[in-house]
Amino acid sequence: MPDIIQLLPDNIANQIAAGEVIQRPASAVKELLENAVDAGADEIKLIVNDAGKALVQVIDNGKGMSETDARMAFERHATSKIKNIDDLFRIKTMGFRGEALASIAAVAQVELRTKRAEDETGIYLEIENSFVKMQEPVAATTGTSISMKNLFFNVPARRNFLKSNAAELRHIVDEFIRVSMAFPEIFFSFTSNGQEVFHLEKGSLKQRIVQILGNSYNAKLVSVQEQTDYLNISGFVGKPETAKKTRGDQYLFVNNRFIKSAYLNHAVMNAFNEMIAKDSYPMYALFIDLDPAQLDINVHPTKQEIKFEDEKIVYAFVQSAVKHALAQFSVSPTLDFELDASIQHLDAVSKPLSEERRSSTTSSPLFQTFTQKNQAHFIEKKSDLRHWKDFYESPGEKSTGDIAIQKDSSIGSNAVLHKDTDTDQPLLQLHQAYILVQDEKGFLVIQQQNAHERILYERYMQAVAGKPMATQQSLFPVTIDLAAADAVLLNELIPDLQQLGYQLEPFGNNTFVIQGTPADVESGNEKAALEKMIEQYKHFSNDIKFSKREKLIRSLAMQHAVKEGKVLSQKEMQTLVTSLFVCEVPNVTANGKPTYMSFKKDELDKMFGR
């Protein structure tokens, strides 16, 4: 029998390695930007076409490469960063594996121009499928320009797995922000399809954060600075009022390398405990510097996951540093016992109480109500407080706090399920979450949020199928500022959102104007509803079984549904119950949660021995 184990050819081995390192255009962007930083550049330009599928180009003014180095850079495990095994545990540079360029050259057509300051001419290389097709001297400026064209041209199955251009562009924006935020002393620019997306001048970290995340952060950043023998922490956190409903503005760097760490993210969230809502996320850009020997960055091919020698110490330091910063800048709530100077000069404070004023005050019904013991429950009956609503509502005027649950007879015709249900009878709301409905055989308990989710889901499905929803025009259009990646996402969703009743217009620099909203979105809640919808949409993004439209509809239904804790009027409850039972599938939400439970009268009789 002949031997069957053989060494793989280099180009195939490189393609296998590329599967770990280069998963999408953004992976190549990350590797090429990090190489430019390691080359000592102070100007780095990123150019992409067709969301990186057609072209990813990085141009830097770093130290460049010699002819030999330019050829060697594309060999597997060729690196200038490691000479012996001990160097692996003292990594100070961004790249060190020596796999990135070899992996890129295995799955794309690569062109390289590079020149060192001391050389008269530069070198030009063309590499395809790991083979050098051309090498020649070329006139060039000092630095390196590397272009990656037609990613996965030779691996069509991998290319088919790439997402839409908008989705891939979001990943590229994320990687660009992560590298550019870590090095504010370097000029970065990012151009997509000929349009400049970012132009980041050199400056301080605070200036870089404002350049990337928007001017709204300019006066709302709190400095974090803690130095210890073990590690140093620096950076900024956003004041509590900047917390958003969407994740995305959280950046954690260890030795200037962006990392993902749910553990340390929890430390920051803990520091904000009770200062922001539970479903909100604070902005932060924190830099941890510690001895490279105290951590292992070689645990994942993308180097975004690392292991600390003692992660509990790091957790404690991060939480403490953020708490200290928030307290120092008087962001955490405090009681102020100083009386405001303007109040000191009011007549009521500065002048003595006259007898005339005293007698008129003590004889008023309001004073008598509050000074009698155990009379709190009589306040509305005995004092003029019972008329307070008259100041705000004219007779017959409806309170604006009511939710809009529109009855739509076109939702479906599946009303037979509970034809005995009498929705004209008085309904009972339990714990501001459940609606009790009696029928001839017993009763139903309807979960109000789940029921409204189902109603909205079916209404939205009809809207995208060709029955656009009514839009209520905003009297005063609201602007919403988003992180760059979220702005790319929202741009992609605008056509579908228009069918669902939203009118949105891009307003430049990741800002949108909300001109109109679906008729069932509460006025004044437009911005929060959109932010929550984007967050919910991103949660669904990892689920490939959903189409983009399905994810959007589910997200909107979840965010616009009436929540637990909302007091409903009789009319609202009856409309909700009626609308639920004309749905095509009234018994569950799109996510499979029950909308109601049925209880039979004869089962109750058995329980009570009747």
Q: What is the Cα–Cα distance from 149 to 346, expressed in whole angstroms?
A: 73
Question: So what's the pLDDT on residue 445?
Answer: 94
Q: What is the Cα–Cα distance from 240 to 351, expressed in whole angstroms?
A: 40
Torsion 563-566-572-578 (CA) sign: positive
> What phi and psi, each to the nearest 5 degrees, are found at residue 604?
-65, -40
Helix H or strand E encompassing 264: helix 262-271
Q: Report the range of poorest mean pLDDT among 222-226, 328-332, 561-565.
A: 328-332
Q: What is the Cα–Cα distance from 86 to 362, expressed in whole angstroms?
A: 85
Q: Report the range of poorest mean pLDDT among 4-8, 60-64, 293-297, 568-572.
A: 293-297
Task: State the angle between helix axes of 100-107 and 25-38 in degrees (0 to 180), rounded to the nearest 10.
Answer: 140
**pLDDT tens sequence across 474-529:** 778 888 888 777 888 888 889 889 888 889 998 877 789 999 888 767 677 788 88
Question: So what's the pLDDT on residue 487?
Answer: 83
The one-letter amino acid code at 503 reads Q
pLDDT confidence tier of residue 355, bands split at 50, 70 and 90: low
Question: So what's the pLDDT on residue 528?
Answer: 81
If you ran DSSP here, which 8-state letter would residue 129 be given?
A: T
Residue 385 has pLDDT above 50, yes or no: no
Question: So what's the pLDDT on residue 536?
Answer: 79
Question: So what's the pLDDT on residue 150?
Answer: 93
**Higher confidence at residue 513 or residue 389?**
513
Task: State the angle between helix axes of 100-107 and 10-21 in degrees (0 to 180), rounded to the nearest 10.
Answer: 110
**pLDDT tens sequence across 202-222:** 999 999 999 888 877 888 999
> What phi and psi, each to the nearest 5 degrees, are found at residue 385?
-65, -25
pTM over 0.75: no
**pLDDT tens sequence across 390-412:** 433 444 444 434 444 544 433 33
Tokens 């741009």 found at: 491
pLDDT confidence tier of residue 97, bands split at 50, 70 and 90: very low
Task: List the domains of the chain with CATH numbers.
Answer: 10-200 (3.30.565.10), 208-328 (3.30.230.10), 364-397 (no CATH), 428-599 (3.30.1370.100)
499 near 466, Cβ under 8 Å?
Answer: no
Percent of the chain with pLDDT over 70: 75
Q: What is the Cα–Cα distance from 531 to 486, expressed in whole angstroms?
A: 9
Question: So what's the pLDDT on residue 579?
Answer: 92
**Higher confidence at residue 526 or residue 185?**
185
The average pLDDT across 549-553 equals: 86
Question: So what's the pLDDT on residue 223?
Answer: 94
Tokens 């689920």 found at: 543
Cα pseudo-dihedral 280, 286, 291, 295, rounded to 10: 30
76 near 17, Cβ under 8 Å?
Answer: yes
254 near 290, Cβ under 8 Å?
Answer: yes
Cα pseudo-dihedral 161, 164, 169, 172, rounded to 10: -10
Q: Report the range of poorest mean pLDDT among 11-25, 82-96, 358-372.
A: 82-96
Nearest C-alpha neighbor of 255 from the set 226, 223, 202, 295? 295
Tokens 């090095």 found at: 183
The set of residues, in sequence order, having a beta carbon less than 8 Å from that of 247 and lying 6+ positions away, is 281, 535, 538
**Higher confidence at residue 423 or residue 263?**
263
Per-chain mean pLDDT for the chain: 79
Q: Percentages helix, strand, coil for the chain, rounded to the nearest 5?
A: 40, 20, 40
The set of residues, in sequence order, having a beta carbon less than 8 Å from that of 410 and lying 6+ positions away, is 462, 467
